[in-house]
């Protein structure tokens, strides 16, 4: 039985990543809404700010807890097919593990369980690990996209039956799209992390942060939506 939209939404929201992308959408929509009305409707802006903060803390509690094990397990089970990919995977997943691990302490400091004074330091360490990992995840996806494009070129010039070639082409094109979505999300999250590591007018502007957050969230929706 094929899944309709409601079936797919239920499956999507049953995943940890699915809930995370939905709440991330709430978080950055609220950020942009707060920025839009803060000069004319301060009461509404305050409500949107509370929504943004609550969404961010909810994501840290639900989506980050134990998440550092994901990178460790990826390296343990499937580190990559070639030495170059394995090396890049170690760097990428190591950065992501640092990000998720220290995000626990950031969350605990922001809710007052740990000393709130350590929040800034934990945020910097977490953002640094995040940005470090994303750089190498982007490189890995670029390498695979280049390989897939070469495979497409070979397929279109060989003598295999048209039906077989069509199926393989569709599969490769689907993988390329998924990796482009991954690059989009990682670049967007990298901008958000850079705003914490090295504050600057561009990265720290509310519109830049809001659009980056939504690009990352919606790319995640696309990647995790059931086919």
Q: CA 162 to CA 179: how far, in whole Å?
A: 26
Write down the pLDDT at residue 20: 93
What pLDDT does 1 receive? 64
For residue 6, what pLDDT is reported?
Answer: 94
pLDDT at 166: 82
What's the pLDDT at 81? Answer: 84
pLDDT of 154: 86
Give me the mean pLDDT over the 86-110 stretch. 94
Tell the residue number behind the tokens 């991330």, with chain if given. Answer: 24
Provide DSSP, 136-175. Answer: HHHHHHHHHHHHHHHHHHHHTTS-S-HHHHHHHHHHHHHH
Predicted local confidence at residue 80, as pLDDT: 81
The residue to which tokens 């509404």 are assigned: 44
Beta-carbon neighbour count of residue 204 at 10 Å?
Answer: 15
pLDDT of residue 138: 97
- Work out the percent of the chain whose per-residue pLDDT is above 90: 78
Q: How far is CA 37 from the centre of its chain?
A: 28
**Residue 143 and residue 102 in contact, taking contact as beta carbons nearer than 8 Å:** no
Residue 176 has pLDDT above 80, yes or no: yes
**CA dist 17 to 11, 21, 24, 164, Å?**
11, 6, 10, 34
Q: CA 216: distance to chain centroid? A: 5
- Mean of pLDDT over the chain: 92
Nearest to 208 by CA among 219, 220, 196, 221: 196
Q: Give the separation between CA 60 and CA 122, rounded to whole angstroms.
A: 13
Q: What is the pLDDT of residues 193-224, one digit of tens each?
A: 999 999 999 999 999 999 999 999 999 999 99
**Is 34 within 8 Å of 56 (Cβ atoms)?**
no
Query: Are the C-beta atoms of residues 46 and 88 closer than 8 Å to each other?
Result: no
Range of lowest pLDDT (121-135, 154-168, 179-193): 154-168
Comparing 71-75, 89-93, 171-175, 187-191, which segment has the lowest mean pLDDT?
A: 71-75
């Amino acid at each position: 039985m094929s899944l309709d939209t409601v079936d797919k939404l239920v499956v999507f929201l049953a995943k940890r990543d699915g809930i995370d992308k939905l709440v991330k959408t709430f978080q950055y929509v609220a950020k942009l809404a707060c920025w839009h009305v803060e000069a004319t409707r301060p009461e509404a802006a305050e409500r949107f700010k509370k929504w943004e903060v609550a969404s961010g803390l909810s994501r840290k509690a639900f989506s980050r807890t134990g998440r550092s094990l994901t990178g460790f397990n990826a390296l343990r089970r499937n580190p990559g097919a070639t030495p170059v990919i394995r090396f890049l995977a170690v760097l990428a997943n190591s950065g992501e593990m640092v990000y998720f691990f220290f995000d626990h302490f950031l969350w605990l400091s922001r809710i007052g369980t740990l000393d709130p004074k350590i929040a800034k330091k934990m945020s910097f360490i977490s953002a640094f690990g995040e940005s470090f990992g994303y750089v190498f995840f982007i490189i890995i996806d670029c390498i695979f996209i280049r390989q897939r494009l070469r495979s497409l070129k070979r397929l279109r010039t060989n003598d295999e039956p048209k039906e077989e070639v069509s199926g393989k082409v569709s599969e490769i094109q689907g993988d390329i799209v998924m990796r482009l979505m991954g690059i989009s999300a990682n670049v967007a999250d990298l901008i958000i992390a850079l705003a914490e590591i090295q504050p600057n007018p561009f990265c720290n502007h509310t519109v830049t942060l809001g659009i980056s957050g939504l690009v990352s969230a919606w790319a995640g929706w696309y990647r995790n939506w059931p086919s």
